[in-house]
Structure 1
Amino acid sequence: MSFVKVCPLAEVPADGALAVEIGGTPVAVVRAGDDVFAVNDICSHAEVSLSEGEVYNGTIECWLHGSCFDLRTGKPTNPPATQPVATYRVKVEDGDVYVALGSDD
């Protein structure tokens, strides 16, 4: 698995998200408090950008229909979404955010 530098941490809004693309994959880099997460940026329900939604209580909310996704697991926490979004490994080094799309195995 290889980490890719996606942005400076300072570009990710506090309790918000930033849309980036890694090799053609849309990714939402999300700050929730002191934690940084990365999830697929496309809602599993309506195919709109999650990075444009609100971040609160460890979730990101789709702005179109209100589905929320757990930032740790990608699982929806309320309808109408029923399918999870992919989550990705994140590390922050020297003020920059790195994301790995691959799995651990």
Structure 2
Amino acid sequence: MSGGWTVLCPTSDVLPGESHVAWFGDVPLVIVNFDGIFYALEDRCTHEDFELSAGPYDQATGQIECVLHGALFDVRSGEALRAPAYEPARPYPVKVEDGMIWVREPD
């Protein structure tokens, strides 16, 4: 850990249009590569506490869908875009250094 930042994985683990699950302490995060920019969300649908990583990630729109009931989230902000989820998924700040993806606790 460096200044509150924790390394999760190399950027090579998350190619453009892909998602990857990594652990930040005891919190699973789904990491996505949206047009070369990396985003991290808590890997949990806010509707039913189901893994977002189990659903499809749409590279064209930057959205991830929960396969349990079809809730949709924006990977850039965590915003819930479609019911039955109304609360956002928790986004985590991301930085990339030396080919590694780092995250820290949200403010």
State the TM-score, normalized to the length of structure 2. Answer: 0.87
Residue in structure 2 matching 1:31, options 26, 30, 33: 33
Displacement of 1:100 after TM fit? 0.9
- Determine the structure 2 residue equivalent to 1:83: 87
Task: Using the TM superposition, give the Cα deviation of residue 76 of structure 1 relative to its aligned residue in structure 2, in angstroms.
Answer: 0.6
Q: 1:66: how far off?
A: 1.6
Rounded to whole Å, the distance in 2 between the matches of 1:35 and 1:54 is 18
What is residue 53 of structure 1 aligned with on the other side? Answer: 55
Alpha-carbon deviation of 1:81?
0.8
Q: Provide the identity percentage.
A: 34
- Kept after mapping to 2: 8 A contact 1:2/1:102: no
Root-mean-square deviation over aligned CA pairs: 1.4
Please tell me whether residue 14 in structure 1 is matched to residue 16 in structure 2: yes
Which letter maps to 1:88? Answer: Y
Give TM-score, length-normalised by structure 1. 0.89
Give structure 1 regions of 4+ aligned residues with deviation exceeding 4 angstroms: none
Task: Please list every run of 5 or more consecutive structure 1 residues that lacks an aligned counterpart in the other structure.
Answer: none
How far apart, CA to CA, are the structure 2 residues paired with 1:55 and 1:76?
14
Q: Please report how far the alpha carbon of residue 53 of structure 1 lies from its aligned counterpart in structure 2 after TM superposition.
A: 1.8
**Can you list the C-alpha shifts for 1:77-105, whole angstroms capped at 9, x where unaligned?**
111111111101001111110011241xx
Is 1:65 the counterpart of 2:69? The answer is yes
The runs of 5 or more residues in structure 2 that have no matched partner are none
